[in-house]
Structure 1
Amino acid sequence: MSHPIHLDGASLTIDQVVGAARDPSISITLDPAALAALGQSRALIERAIDEGRTIYGVNTGFGKLANVRIATDQLDELQVNLIRSHAAGVGDLLPREVVRAVMVLRANVLIRPTSGVRPQLVEAVLALLNSDIVPAVPEQGSVGASGDLAPLSHIAQVIMGEGEVLARDGGREPGAAALARAAIAPMRFAPKEGLSFINGTQAQTAILSLLVHDAGVLWRTALASAAMSLEALRGTPTPFDPRIHAARPHPGQQVAAEHLLTLLDDSEIRASHLDDDPRVQDAYSLRCLPQVMGAVRDAIEFAERVCRIELNSSTDNPLVFDNGDVLSGGNFHGQPVAQALDFLTIALTTMQAMTERRIERLVNPDLSHGLPAFLIENPGLRSGYMMVQITAAALVAESRTLTVPASVGSIPTDANQEDFVPMGMAAAFKAARVLRNAQRVVAAEVLCAVQGIELLKPLSPGRGVRWLEQRVRDPEGPAIAPLTEDRSPAPDLERLARAVAAGELDPVGLL
């Protein structure tokens, strides 16, 4: 049974976000002490309003209109108007898991006392999550500052009893109907609450959370796939000797080398060509695995560090402090998240590009050191896995076009008040597409490498590669049969890609 998630604004983890996003049965609760502190913060805001202090977004307009003072009897209307006017998203809808992740992050940020909202608003978000009411949120329309305004506004609309939610049949239904069915009363936003809700990086950070988790799974799977290719190509593990990597101690490089030695341990294939192999060195796509895959791991860890900080940070504006100060700043700016997403995109493209080069070596008889052309007996009459390499090349080519950083592509908005924005959601969508491509390229390598291992029988590979081979052949898993005659690779590739994405080929238990 999954553990409940307890939100306190300070300790939310990436794994918890992923769990809550993908498993609606997980219970989410709020920390009483954090709620009490939030109530005290809210009292400071209400006192400031009563004192007639001018506070951005509480009794003023927004953005370019910040110099417009709003009458006291219109402060609630100001927040409602903000949400309605900013729900300007377009395009396809965000997946359920992404929207759920956004709501978890939003609740965790709002419960921090710097938000100055009423505890009831955080409880309203939790009510949606625990009832699995998922707002319909269009993908496009956020530039990542001042926060993810449009996506968060579409969620806020549902809290008000407006907007639409995702129906169980895949369509949409009115938000009011979903709230009524769950016996949840619509909530009217009070002063500051609309701005606090929509002013933050939670949409781009939600996607980063899911991607960082999935990229870690993919990295380990890709390392196992690479080890299988090295065995099929009868490469040497000598370049993974820890002394080499101690001489250049990048953390990821050392971890990758250590994991590769573990995966390749106890290999009959290696023993069979240990003494009489005329080759002195393998190609870079085998020999330099620790250096390249290590750099990819370090990039994933960088993105993870950014994500961990962002999960438990105050990203709305203005912020309320315990001495009563209400300060305007720019914590809503998504530049740290956007840059992490761009870096992740580059790293995942690097990984799949190197993977494709090993696929080429596996299917090319001039490079495969004795394997039949395209990994099929009687090549010529049969084409084997010729097209698998071409498919991988197409995926890598697409990913390369997506590596241009979004975070340097600012277009000024809001009458030039918001004159430098990070385009974090564009970075997120590119990273997500590149991750999916990378999962399929790794699936293609697994398909070819396991066939290469098949053709070397009765010799057995290292224990980690044996484990991967068994998982691939498992009737309860991908159930990929050896290739003895031509068949369409597409179904096998898709089954393997799903297994890669689901973590079914992740050797984490061996490492």
Structure 2
Amino acid sequence: MKKVFNYGIDRLTVNIALDIARGNTKGVLNGKAKEKVLKSQSYVQEIVAKGDVVYGVNTGFGPLCTTIISEEDTSTLQHKILQSHSVGVGNIIPKETSKLMLITKAHALAQGFSGIALTTLERIIWHIDKDIVPTVPEKGSVGASGDLAPLSHLFLPLIGLGEVYTEDGSRAITSDVLSRLGMKSLQLGPKEGLALINGTQFILSHAVKVVERLAQALDTADVIGAMSLEGLMGSARPFEPELHQIRAYKGTQLVATRLREMLNGSEILESHVDCDRVQDPYSLRCMPQVHGASRNAWLHLKELVEVELNSVTDNPIILDAENAISGGNFHGQPLALPLDYAGVAAAEIGNIADRRCYMMIEGRFGLPKLLMKDVGLNSGFMIPQYTSAALVTENKTLCFPASADSVPTSLGQEDHVSMGSISGRKTLQIIDNLEQILAVELLYAAQALDFRRPLKSSPIIEGTHAYVRERVAHADEDRVLAYDIKAMHDIVKSGALVHLANEISKKEKIDLNGEYKQEFSF
């Protein structure tokens, strides 16, 4: 039996939002939520009947806020706003991201501050439950006054316009799908169009994906970093708990614990405990500090995302028939800043991973130059590091904070905007590149570890290395390494290394995450 989530009542988390999007949890409207929605709608109807001037209910939008709309035209106004604001361009965002937009908007509307009709909210939930998800172009939002263009596209199907992903994932014209299913389009009432398109759900849904994907990349980077350290015969002393207790950042302590436990019991490390290497290079020695700083950035983003998941971000907010507040809850700055920060955090994980790659092909610490015994005729593993270097630099160019820019819109009425939609999209691009960089490091680390035989590593590193070797063989001569990188990327993107490391840690009774396990999960 599926878990149940009550829109507008229960607390939404990243994990629950993803579970609803993937069909593992069912979102419902219970009686209490319906009552709140109906009461809020009645307030709007009362405002219209009294003729009180309230922005977006009986006025135009943006710079047209002083243009009064007659009572008989208030419904037409809401229909027109969806049409006029549907100006998105570029590629269509993934279906799951669009579905997250529906889920997060449904939860916000169900809290009873938006004046939405119950039938409209129920239709949104119908789209979620039936997996008939509107298509949304990726570009066009400036991240203030809400994600106007993306949300307009998201809700065109309510009035019979636009396109949708059907149940099988193909795209179709909305009117054709509604006709096939015997459904009719809706007639929106006062304020409904504005309530639908004002909000941060485009930024928020991208942020949900960032939280999920960056968490997995960070866990994977720790595993691959530990394998690289073994291949380079580095030291685990810099991960001792006493060192990190006197500079007690949560992320640093978490990573130090993970590395220490993953490396515990390694014959490779024990074999050179009394060697004359005084200190390892920073990309090995400072993994807790660098990976840990990115962990802290992730934690900050997750905390703010879960505030936003349970917020109402449209405008105006309807408290009652006498109290409608035109405010700025739609402004995307609270998410734009941490999304940009998370992008830098992701890029830095790729940066330090590339440095470890370079170290492994230098011919240092007992490894053959270019990670192959017979080079000259063979180029060995020279060129994959070019790929990681290119991706590192691409990520640096993507790290310019979109939130540092603002272009006035709406004839100056919206004179400061967050550009948070760009922050969300480009942070996911950075994570795409990071996963490829980690794939290159994994290729190198597995090859380097082969040269340490017959010595064995710890149970976790031995297990993850064996998993890699089942899919990609050791290279004694040149071959098309793009295929190897692709195989490694599949491993990284799937989260298989993290899953395997966790399974081995349970079997070996190893605690990889220590006291911060709950805090750094979602």
Equivalence for 1:461: 457
1:266-312 Cα distance to aligned partner (Å, 9 max, x none): 1010111112x110010000111111111000000111111000011
| Pairing 1:330-479 to 2, within 5 Å after superposition | 330-365=328-363, 368-474=364-470, 479=471
Secondary structure at 2:212's aligned position in 1?
A: helix
Residue 504 (structure 2) pairs with residue 504 (structure 1): no
Equivalence for 2:50: 51
What residue identity is the alignment partner of 1:503? Answer: G
Equivalence for 1:310: 308
Cα distance, 1:361–1:137 mapped onto 2, change above 3 Å? same
Residue 307 (structure 2) pairs with residue 280 (structure 1): no
Residue 133 (structure 2) pairs with residue 134 (structure 1): yes
Alpha-carbon shift at residue 20 of structure 1 (Å): 3.2
Equivalence for 1:122: 121
Query: How many equivalent pairs are there?
Result: 503
| Pairing 1:171-190 to 2, within 5 Å after superposition | 172-190=171-189
Query: Identity rate of aligned residues, in percent?
Result: 38
Equivalence for 1:484: 476
Q: Is the 8 A contact 1:409 1:423 kept in 2?
A: yes
Structure 1 residue ranges without an equivalent (≥5)? none
**CA distance in structure 1 between the aligned counterparts of 2:480 and 2:2, rounded to whole angstroms:** 39
| Pairing 1:52-71 to 2, within 5 Å after superposition | 52-71=51-70
What residue identity is the alignment partner of 2:401? Answer: P
What residue identity is the alignment partner of 2:198? Answer: N
Cα distance, 1:193–1:323 mapped onto 2, change above 3 Å? closer
Q: Is the 8 A contact 2:316 2:324 kept in 1?
A: yes
Secondary structure at 1:421's aligned position in 2?
A: coil
Q: Is the 8 A contact 2:195 2:315 kept in 1?
A: yes
Secondary structure at 1:19's aligned position in 2?
A: helix
**CA distance in structure 2 between the aligned counterparts of 1:499 and 1:129, rounded to whole angstroms:** 30
Cα distance, 1:3–1:363 mapped onto 2, change above 3 Å? farther
Q: Is the 8 A contact 2:374 2:477 kept in 1?
A: no
Alpha-carbon shift at residue 133 of structure 1 (Å): 1.0
**CA distance in structure 1 between the aligned counterparts of 2:24 and 2:175, rounded to whole angstroms:** 23
**CA distance in structure 1 between the aligned counterparts of 2:5 and 2:432, rounded to whole angstroms:** 28
Residue 228 (structure 2) pairs with residue 236 (structure 1): no
RMSD, matched Cα: 1.6
Residue 212 (structure 2) pairs with residue 213 (structure 1): yes
**CA distance in structure 1 between the aligned counterparts of 2:330 and 2:198, rounded to whole angstroms:** 6
Equivalence for 1:19: 19
What residue identity is the alignment partner of 1:250? Answer: Y
What residue identity is the alignment partner of 2:271? Answer: S
Alpha-carbon shift at residue 361 of structure 1 (Å): 0.6
1:238-262 Cα distance to aligned partner (Å, 9 max, x none): 0111111000011111111011101
Alpha-carbon shift at residue 134 of structure 1 (Å): 1.7
What residue identity is the alignment partner of 2:15? Answer: D
**CA distance in structure 2 between the aligned counterparts of 1:141 and 1:115, rounded to whole angstroms:** 24
**CA distance in structure 2 between the aligned counterparts of 1:9 and 1:412, rounded to whole angstroms:** 36
Q: Is the 8 A contact 1:103 1:129 kept in 2?
A: yes
Secondary structure at 2:347's aligned position in 1?
A: helix
| Pairing 1:239-254 to 2, within 5 Å after superposition | 239-254=238-253
**CA distance in structure 2 between the aligned counterparts of 1:31 and 1:422, rounded to whole angstroms:** 35
**CA distance in structure 2 between the aligned counterparts of 1:266 and 1:162, rounded to whole angstroms:** 62
Equivalence for 1:113: 112
Alpha-carbon shift at residue 99 of structure 1 (Å): 0.6
Equivalence for 2:158: 159
**CA distance in structure 2 between the aligned counterparts of 1:122 and 1:258, rounded to whole angstroms:** 46
**CA distance in structure 2 between the aligned counterparts of 1:266 and 1:220, rounded to whole angstroms:** 20
Alpha-carbon shift at residue 171 of structure 1 (Å): 5.8
Equivalence for 2:319: 321
What residue identity is the alignment partner of 1:452? Answer: A
Secondary structure at 2:113's aligned position in 1?
A: helix
**CA distance in structure 1 between the aligned counterparts of 2:371 and 2:27, rounded to whole angstroms:** 50
Structure 2 residue ranges without an equivalent (≥5)? 506-511, 513-522
Q: Is the 8 A contact 2:74 2:190 kept in 1?
A: yes
**CA distance in structure 1 between the aligned counterparts of 2:195 and 2:446, rounded to whole angstroms:** 52
Alpha-carbon shift at residue 498 of structure 1 (Å): 2.5
Secondary structure at 1:91's aligned position in 2?
A: strand
Alpha-carbon shift at residue 264 of structure 1 (Å): 0.5
Secondary structure at 1:312's aligned position in 2?
A: coil
Q: Is the 8 A contact 2:254 2:292 kept in 1?
A: yes
Alpha-carbon shift at residue 488 of structure 1 (Å): 1.3
1:3-58 Cα distance to aligned partner (Å, 9 max, x none): 4444235511101222333x256533223311221211221221222222111100
Please give the TM-score of this superposition, normalised by the length of structure 2: 0.93
Alpha-carbon shift at residue 226 of structure 1 (Å): 0.4
Secondary structure at 1:349's aligned position in 2?
A: helix
Secondary structure at 1:326's aligned position in 2?
A: strand
Q: Is the 8 A contact 2:46 2:321 kept in 1?
A: no
**CA distance in structure 2 between the aligned counterparts of 1:211 and 1:508, rounded to whole angstroms:** 22
Q: Is the 8 A contact 2:131 2:167 kept in 1?
A: no
**CA distance in structure 2 between the aligned counterparts of 1:414 and 1:152, rounded to whole angstroms:** 17
Q: Is the 8 A contact 2:58 2:68 kept in 1?
A: yes
Cα distance, 1:171–1:439 mapped onto 2, change above 3 Å? same
